Amino acid sequence: MEHIVIIGNGISGVTAARHVRKLSDHRITVISGESDYFFSRTALMYVYMGHMKWDHLKPYEDWFWEKNRIELKKAWVEKIDFDNKKLQFSTGDSMDYDKLVIATGSVYNKFGWEGEDLKGVQGLVSKQDLIELEENTAYTKKAVIVGGGLIGVELAEMLRKREIEVTFLVREQAFWNNVLPLPEAKMISEHIRSHHVDLRHNTELDKILSDENGRVRAVRTSDGEEIECQLVGLCAGVRPNIDFLKNSQLETDRGILVNEFLETNISDVYSIGDCAQQREAIGSRKPVEAVWYTGRIMGETMARTLTGIRTAYQPGNWFNSAKFFDIEYQTYGWVWPEPKVNEQHFHWQHESGLKAITIAFDTETREFLGINTFGIRMRQEVIDLWLNKNRKIDHVLANLKLANFDPEFYDRHEDEIFRSFKNNLQEAE
């Protein structure tokens, strides 16, 4: 019986622990300094908005861990002695391991802005960040959010629900335009503004200004404008949480470098989740992916390797989802912000400005490459099949009904989408 130690009780680490337990009798310890029990990080916003309480974030009841003989240790790991297979905790005590899985997740980016360490300046990734946000926003009437990504728009929604005025600085010409095609990005920008967020495109943060108590009082933008605020949300992306591993034998780049089997350069040491960086990118995926389901798949894959069935990490077709205030977003396959060579985008938007679809396809082979949907739910199973079978755009449009996953009695738009596509083609020819 080996002692498998997992640093990090997020979705990756906990999934690995659960599946190791299913497959074996090894001793399992999960270490976290952040929280007593696994919780759903993606739902932090709902606690702040009063939709849920902290206990609702825990996917497993507290008795689950003992029943499944998964030992939990609340501590921060300060140093790892890889030669002697020993962890050093910040409290001074230590722990031996036979196999080690590092699943420490992400922290939010700071890019060396002047004033980024002032009081009232923070991101939103961890439980501690949420606690800090509660404390900070007790005094906040105006806030500035920096960086137009998924956490940024969530933070904007959270703050608006507490009647805090929000100015949202976004580098791109429309919201998340580095990921979304322009028509969709513009639609989302409109929607964000309709929720009374002062959204500023093509605007970056220059520096953060302090009051006499070391607390933020304003920011200055790249245009030189000064915006008064009591809170600055740093939402310009996240990076692997690996600072405690710097200057060790472990090979790192942005994240901990792993091969397709999630193995690091040190034997019996593995890394999964947001903090892992693939040495060889998988398909068109980024080498570091901070996505919920990839963490889960890595955790399952890891458990197989740890229990003797060495298994490569294969995340399958890219997909993801998000919600921008009231508009749900799903994506399957690859829809780039600008079509690549031999690619074309077909875009349809509903007159309400709340629903849209973009389908990417190959102009030569007419092969279906990917789809973005807004305000329309799609059935992953069906789209996955289309992607795997290299279906043509014509097949996809003719069968789009099969992929609809909206609740019963919702308005259907497939016919309109189909007509729109045919008209577009005729115009193009």
Partner 1 sequence: MSRIEHNMSLTGDAPSALNTQQKLSTLLGMSGLFILLLATFNLNFPNKTLWLSISLISVFAGIVWFAKASYADKHPGIKNDGIWFKSMTNRGFLAWLVGISLTGFYIILYLYPQYLGLRAEGDNTGLIALFDPFSKLLSGNPASQWFVYGTLYTIAILAFGVKFMWKYRHNRYEKLRTVSVMFFQTAFAFLIPELMARLNGKGFSLPYYDLKNIWPLNYYNFEQYRVDEFISAGTVGMILLFFGIASIFIITPILTYKYGKRWYCSWVCGCGGLAETAGDPYRHLSDKSLFAWKVERWVIHSVLVFVVLMTTAVIYSYLGYDADKYWLNRDVFLIAVGVFLTLLFAGIWYFKREELEKDARYGAIGYLVIIISLIGFHYMSGSNLFLFNAETLRVAYGFLIGSIFSGVIGTGFYPIFGNRVWCRFGCPMAAILGMQQRLFSKFRITTNGGQCISCGNCSTYCEMGIDVRAYAQKGENIVRSSCVGCGICSAVCPRGVLKLENGSQKNRISSEEAVLGDNVDLLDLIKQKSN
Rule CB under 8 A: choose which of 78, 263, 328, 414 binds partner 1. Answer: 328
Q: Does 260 help bind partner 1 (rule: CB under 8 A)?
A: no
Q: Does 408 help bind partner 1 (rule: CB under 8 A)?
A: yes
Residue 322 token pair: 């998000």
Classify residue 282 by burial, with Cβ atoms within 10 Å: 0-12, 13-18, 19+.
middle
Is the separation of the CB atoms in 397 and 417 below 8 Å? yes
- Closest to 95 in 3D by CA, of 23, 22, 27: 27
Q: Which is nearer to partner 1, 50 or 112 (CB)?
A: 50
Q: Which is nearer to partner 1, 162 or 401 (CB)?
A: 162
What residue ranges in 318-405 does DSSP mark as E strands? 319-324, 327-333, 343-349, 356-362, 368-374
Q: Closest distance between partner 1 and the C-beta of residue 247, in Å?
A: 32
Q: Does 175 help bind partner 1 (rule: CB under 8 A)?
A: no
Per DSSP, what are the bridge partners of residue 8?
A: none
- CA dist., res. 248 & res. 266, Å (int): 11
Q: Does 163 help bind partner 1 (rule: CB under 8 A)?
A: yes
- Closest to 262 in 3D by CA, of 297, 226, 213, 217: 297
Q: Does 29 help bind partner 1 (rule: CB under 8 A)?
A: no
Q: Does 325 help bind partner 1 (rule: CB under 8 A)?
A: yes
Q: Does 48 help bind partner 1 (rule: CB under 8 A)?
A: yes
Going residue by residue from 261 to 300, which x/- string records binding to partner 1, judged by CB under 8 A?
-------------------------------xxx-xx--x
Sign of CA dihedral 375, 380, 381, 386: positive
Q: Which is nearer to partner 1, 58 or 350 (CB)?
A: 58
The region of 221-229, 252-260, 262-270, 408-416 touching partner 1 under the rule CB under 8 A is: 408-416
Q: Which is nearer to partner 1, 202 or 388 (CB)?
A: 388
Q: Closest distance between partner 1 and the C-beta of residue 98, in Å?
A: 23
Residue 94 token pair: 């230590």
Q: Are strands 216-221 and 226-228 parallel, antiparallel or unpaired?
A: antiparallel
**Range 329-348, binding partner 1 (CB under 8 A):** 330
Q: Which is nearer to partner 1, 40 or 248 (CB)?
A: 40
Residue 25 token pair: 């009798």
One-letter amino acid of 40:
S
Is the separation of the CB atoms in 376 and 406 below 8 Å? yes
The region of 100-108, 178-186, 230-238, 320-328 touching partner 1 under the rule CB under 8 A is: 320-328
Sheet architecture: strand order including 368-374: 319-324, 327-333, 368-374, 356-362, 343-349
Q: Does 130 help bind partner 1 (rule: CB under 8 A)?
A: yes
Q: Does 405 help bind partner 1 (rule: CB under 8 A)?
A: yes
Q: Closest distance between partner 1 and the C-beta of residue 333, in Å?
A: 11
Q: Closest distance between partner 1 and the C-beta of residue 261, in Å?
A: 13
Q: Does 395 help bind partner 1 (rule: CB under 8 A)?
A: no
Q: Does 36 help bind partner 1 (rule: CB under 8 A)?
A: yes
Q: Closest distance between partner 1 and the C-beta of residue 54, in Å?
A: 5
Q: What is the DSSP string of 216-269?
A: EEEEEETTS-EEE-SEEEE-S-EEE--GGGTTSSS-BSSSEEE-TT-B-SSTTE
The region of 81-89, 94-102, 316-324, 356-364 touching partner 1 under the rule CB under 8 A is: 316-324
- CA dist., res. 214 & res. 257, Å (int): 38
Q: Does 91 help bind partner 1 (rule: CB under 8 A)?
A: no
Classify residue 212 by burial, with Cβ atoms within 10 Å: 0-12, 13-18, 19+.
exposed
Sign of CA dihedral 226, 227, 232, 234: negative
CA 342 from chain centre, in angstroms, equals 29
Q: Does 411 help bind partner 1 (rule: CB under 8 A)?
A: yes
Rule CB under 8 A: choose which of 177, 271, 301, 372 binds partner 1. Answer: 301
Chain positions contacting partner 1, by CB under 8 A: 11, 36, 40, 42-43, 46-59, 61, 74, 130-131, 134, 137-138, 161-163, 194-195, 292-294, 296-297, 300-301, 304, 309, 311, 314-317, 319, 321-323, 325-326, 328, 330, 377-381, 384, 388, 405-411
